[in-house]
Amino acid sequence: MPAFSCKVCNKKFSLPPAALAKFPNWNPTTCMKCKKGALAKEENLSRKEVLEKYTAGPTTGVFTDGSADPNPGPGGWGAVYVVDNEIVGEKSGHELGTTNNRMELMGIIAACKLVPRGTPVTLYSDSELCVNTFNVWIHKWKLLGWRRAKGSKGEIKNLELVQEVHALLEARPEITLKWIKAHAGNRWNEYADVLATEYRKK
């Protein structure tokens, strides 16, 4: 079983082969203990508290997040569009039975729709899986008839959402999808996280 090094605690961790097989070339960087600890620490902050606490990171762009707790289980997504540290628009939503990846994809869809057509912008996601999906793997999957490469196990999960995001990004070349580190004090990524998790407080 492959071993990975957690960027937070520096300890080695592993994941079940079945989980790794679903996402070829995925290189997990945070163990579940640290990931859950970070989420638990931040999930009680309000939008106002996040803006008061955090100032780092990009000040213009559209930021998105999504998660399910447990995974699968209830989940939410959020997206916020900011220009020079001012909120231009935001959206959020949740589902009772979902997955982390599905919520990340829903957040990206909402983020694309927040930005006026023709406006150059960077779309920030803290999901390396999603960013790699659309920046690295998607073109090969499309050439193979929306299938994974030969020898890869499992179908493409949430294919309808993957195709929707792909179509949006293809139609909107002015949008650049970029990874941003989660729970690293980046103000608007933290804000998107609050939007995605507010459903838990209701």
Per the document, the length of the chain is: 202
- Which of 90, 104, 107, 190 is catalytic? The answer is 104
Q: Residues with Cβ < 8 Å from 117, sequence gap 6 or more?
A: 172
166 part of the active site? no
Measured in whole angstroms, the distance separating CA 2 from the mean position of its chain's CA atoms is 24
69 part of the active site? no
- Asked if 101 and 190 touch (Cβ cutoff 8 Å), the reply is no
Q: Supply the angle between the helices 187-197 and 100-114 in degrees, to the nearest 10.
A: 120
65 part of the active site? yes
104 part of the active site? yes
84 part of the active site? no
155 part of the active site? no
CA angle 195, 201, 202 (to 5 degrees): 100
- Which of 90, 95, 126, 190 is catalytic? The answer is 126
- Which of 65, 90, 95, 190 is catalytic? The answer is 65
Q: How many helices (H) and strands (E) does the chain have?
A: 8, 7
- Which of 57, 66, 75, 78 is catalytic? The answer is 66
Peptide linkage before 17 cis (omega within 30 of 0): no
Task: Please give the positions annotated as active site.
Answer: 65-66, 104, 126, 183, 193
